[in-house]
Amino acid sequence: MNLENKVAVVTGGAMGNGLGIVKVFLKYGADVVILDYSDELADTLKELNNPKVSGYKVDIRDKRMVDAVINDVLAKKGKIDILINNAGVAKLERFVDMQDDVRDFHLDINIKGSWNVTKAVVPNMIKNHYGKIVNLSSVTGPIVADAGEVAYATTKAALLGFTKALAMELVKDGINVNAIMPGYIMTPMVEGIAKDTDASNPDSVVKGIADGIPMGRLGTIEELGELAAFLASDNSSYITGQGIVIDGASTLPETRSVGV
């Protein structure tokens, strides 16, 4: 893969899947700009210690802030070739107990946030007749779901629809729009779910998840980053409007109780 001379914007790139994407993009030569609201951003930039990566502390729910930051990126870099809409949240709570503010927390970040950043970036891509947009959907929502995931699943399913419709609108502008649909990747989000499930032994929760995956393990953020790099590269020039599953075959079994 070659991302030399490409400018990539990665939302939520300070940790988790986003950090995996940033690391792989840097490996392949991209100039990476992280947009993240977390205080981890400064530590991440220091840890990466790479002149080709920079960052902005941004609340992607705030359209004015997003517009200002993207305008600043364009003023400094001259273009944006790649957008990775990775920033997202998940708070597990049963539908009947969920307050509207928890629902809106998911909608505002997972959907509206991705919408805001995409809306700010796309005009430059259209102008250059070139762009790669990758949205982080999930297997949760479009394919599977568990109790407590109604808000999260709704937003991740919506992102897949957003991907397909946007791909159709932008296909004649030289812009590819695709989605990554991860299963379980070892991220701080998964670690948090494990602690919430069993604070005394979160490792047992992670092992339980791994036992239900045919590959017997969770994916790594770098593995997800490699898929993102492929979709962001010219190697994927004939792929658009697709949701690509990366889940260690966790959604493949017809049942867990029957087998040879």
pLDDT of residue 17: 97
User: How sure is the predictor about 200, in pLDDT bands with cuts at 50, 70 and 90?
Assistant: confident
Euclidean distance between CA atoms 97 and 119, whole angstroms: 34
| Residue 258 scores a pLDDT above 70 | no
| Residue 108 scores a pLDDT above 80 | yes
| Residue 257 scores a pLDDT above 60 | no
CA distances from 229 to 4, 63, 90, 93, 236 (A): 12, 27, 24, 33, 9
User: How sure is the predictor about 188, in pLDDT bands with cuts at 50, 70 and 90?
Assistant: confident
Where in the sequence numbering do the catalytic residues fall? 152
* pLDDT tens for each residue of 18-50: 999 999 999 999 999 999 999 999 999 999 999
| Residue 256 scores a pLDDT above 80 | no
DSSP readout, 146-161? -TT-HHHHHHHHHHHH
- What value does the mean pLDDT take over residues 203-216? 92
| b/e code 6-24 from CB counts within 10 Å (16+ = b) | bbbbbbbbbbbbbbbbbbb
Quote the distance between the C-alpha of residue 148 and its chain's center: 21
pLDDT of residue 233: 98
* Packing angle of the helix pair 114-128, 63-77 (nearest 10 deg): 30
| C-beta of residue 59 within 8 angstroms of C-beta of residue 65 | yes
Using only C-alpha atoms, the chain has a radius of gyration, in whole angstroms, of: 18
Return the CATH number of the domain spanning residue range 7-183+220-246: 3.40.50.720
Structure tokens at 123: 């005009």
| Residue 193 scores a pLDDT above 80 | no
Provide the edge-to-edge strand list for the sheet that holds 243-246. Answer: 53-57, 31-36, 7-11, 82-85, 131-136, 175-182, 243-246
Domain edges within the chain: 7-183+220-246, 187-218
- What value does the mean pLDDT take over residues 234-254? 96
pLDDT of residue 71: 98
